[in-house]
């Protein structure tokens, strides 16, 4: 079946982010108009359930099912919080939507808000995305001026206000409860679930939290219907998908393909193959939290079920490609430094565990490691996974486990030969000898 691009069709048109362009070329806001004027909210929730749309932020939760958890009879206001914190290493797809096609997101927000009965939506965007913030704010301004948002959304007696809320640099605010705490004006510390945000979120009120790309799929579902939508990619997790490919490929970038595209097709056909004519060594398929895949495991479909069956996850679809000259010890050290830096410090297993993981991998890379360190890493990970408020601890443990399991020879080589070749090249004086930390 031929695949028509939905998100990136007009990416290179200079004014693709404007309301005029969106209306003219995408039949912009027709989906939201249809939702408001032709669909009862409950039927709309059923339609989205029937489409099998799954969250694009990382967890892959069915969107319609999530909406169904929001209490119908409540005196409290309900809120929509769009997660645009995009901070999983290797992920940059939401930025593309917000910079190039902000109205697609706004239209999705209208559809989502109508289905759940929401009058206030917030877009929590990471602080570093200054350009995307400007584009979003401009798009919202256009939408208010055009009567798309406001007291009468698209001519319907239904108020909807959308506010952009800038974060300030913290990976943990991409975790949904951490994001909500941050939005309330606190340090972004995650909270225990339950209660889930759908029941008790922002200001103790029911709150739907959705990733940017997930919501931006809604106009398409309204346009073609759930039955046709389900035909794109695998039925259990269908739809067009944005894959972020980075690292050692000739042409890194955001690739739109049907959910379930083969990973090797993505690398070789869409991105020009491994750079400099080198061979593939490993791929992280779903952001740095995902289990790494060995080159021989890469003939796999990039959808939720297939990657789970391969022992990893689609996650945020951040595909990080590594060539045969990459030192896996050094690569893991980079990832461990990230999680140590980004742990919010609330839970001891994560605060201490991420620190120890970095320290142990660091000493292996710098020539002070011992063979027992590999078992020690395993035992530290064991004491982190599933023992904390949020999954940052798990996210740090998964790469540690999988890098060592699949590239054990390299770790052993580093331990037996005085450290990582990359580190030796860069810091010849700091490797080997001296005190073991």
Partner 1 sequence: MSDLKFSESGRKKYEWLLTRYPEKQAVLLPALRIAEEEFGELGLPEMKYVANLLGISPSRVFGVVTFYTHFRRAGTGKFHIQVCSTLSCALRGSQDVVDHIAGRLGIECGETTEDGLFTLTKVECLGSCDTAPMFQLNDDYHESLTIEDVDRIIDDCRNGSGKNGASGKNGGSA
Site for partner 1, rule CB under 8 A: 17, 77, 86-92, 95, 126-131, 134-135, 137-138, 161, 163, 165-171, 182-188, 203, 244-248, 252-254, 284, 288, 318, 320, 322, 326, 331, 334-335, 338, 341-342, 344, 426
As to burial, measured by CB atoms within 10 angstroms (0-12 exposed, 13-18 middle, 19+ buried), residue 72 is: exposed
Residue with tokens 């929590």: 124
Least distance in angstroms from the C-beta of 90 to partner 1? 5
147: left (phi over 0), alpha (psi -120 to 50) or beta: left
Least separation in angstroms between CB 191 and partner 1: 15
Task: Give me the least distance between CB of 235 and partner 1, in Å please.
Answer: 30
Q: Are 261 and 286 in contact (CB under 8 A)?
A: no
List CB contacts of 87: < 8 A, sequence separation 6 or more. Answer: 126, 170, 171, 173, 174
Distance, in Å, from the CA atom of 270 to the CA atom of 252, rounded to the nearest integer, reads 9
Q: Specify the residue, 181 or 306, whose C-beta has the smaller distance to partner 1.
A: 181
Nearest Cα to Cα of residue 302 among 256, 253, 246, 335: 256
Residues written for the chain: 437
Q: Looking at beta carbons only, is 66 or 281 nearer to partner 1?
A: 281
Strands annotated E in 29-96: 79-84
Alpha-carbon distances of 384 from 167, 220, 302, rounded to whole Å: 27, 40, 28
Nearest distance in Å: CB 271, partner 1:
9
Could you tell me the smallest distance in angstroms from the CB atom of residue 371 to partner 1? 26
Residue closer to partner 1, measured from CB, 1 or 12: 12
For partner 1, the closer of residues 220 and 397 by Cβ is 397
CB of 291 to partner 1, least distance (A): 15
Pick 219 or 247: Cβ nearer partner 1: 247
Residue with tokens 């998100």: 7
> CB-wise, 306 or 326, nearer to partner 1?
326
């Amino acid at each position: 079946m031929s695949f028509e691009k939905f998100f990136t069709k007009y990416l290179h048109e200079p004014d693709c982010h404007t309301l005029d362009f969106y209306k003219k070329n995408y039949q912009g806001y027709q989906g939201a108009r249809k939702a408001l004027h032709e669909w009862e909210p409950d039927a709309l929730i059923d339609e989205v359930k029937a489409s099998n749309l799954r969250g694009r932020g990382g967890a892959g939760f069915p969107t319609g099912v999530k909406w169904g958890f929001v209490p119908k009879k409540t005196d409290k206001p309900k809120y929509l919080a769009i997660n645009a914190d995009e901070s999983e290493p290797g992920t940059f797809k939401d930025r593309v939507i917000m910079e190039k096609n902000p109205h697609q997101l706004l239209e999705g927000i209208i559809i989502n808000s109508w289905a759940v009965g929401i009058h206030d939506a917030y877009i929590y965007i990471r602080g570093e995305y200054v350009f995307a913030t400007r584009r979003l704010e401009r798009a919202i301004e256009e939408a208010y001026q055009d009567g798309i948002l406001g007291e009468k959304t698209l001519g319907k007696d239904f108020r909807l206000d959308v506010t952009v809320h800038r974060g300030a640099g913290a990976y943990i605010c991409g975790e949904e409860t951490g994001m909500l705490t941050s939005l309330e004006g606190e340090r972004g510390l995650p909270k225990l679930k339950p209660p889930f945000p759908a029941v008790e979120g922002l200001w103790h009120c029911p709150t739907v939290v959705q990733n940017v790309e997930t919501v931006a799929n809604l106009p398409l579902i309204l346009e073609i219907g759930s039955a046709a939508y389900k035909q794109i990619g695998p039925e259990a997790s269908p739809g067009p998908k944005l894959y972020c490919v980075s690292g050692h490929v000739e042409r890194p970038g955001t690739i739109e393909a049907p959910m379930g595209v083969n990973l090797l097709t993505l690398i070789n056909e869409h991105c020009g193959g491994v750079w400099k004519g080198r061979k593939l060594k490993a791929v992280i398929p779903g952001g740095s939290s995902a289990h790494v895949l060995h080159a021989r495991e890469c003939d796999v479909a990039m959808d939720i079920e297939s990657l789970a069956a391969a022992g990893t996850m689609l996650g945020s679809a951040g595909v990080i490609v590594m060539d045969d000259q990459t030192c896996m010890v050094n690569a893991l050290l980079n990832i461990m430094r990230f999680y140590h830096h980004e742990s919010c410090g609330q839970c001891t297993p994560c605060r201490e565990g991420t620190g120890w993981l970095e320290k142990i991998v660091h000493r292996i890379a710098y020539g002070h490691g011992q063979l027992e360190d590999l078992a020690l890493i395993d035992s530290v990970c064991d004491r982190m996974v599933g023992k904390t408020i949020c999954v940052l601890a798990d996210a740090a443990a998964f790469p540690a486990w999988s890098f060592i399991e699949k590239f054990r020879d390299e770790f052993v080589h580093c331990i037996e030969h005085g450290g990582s070749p990359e580190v030796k090249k860069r810091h010849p004086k700091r490797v080997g000898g001296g005190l073991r930390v």
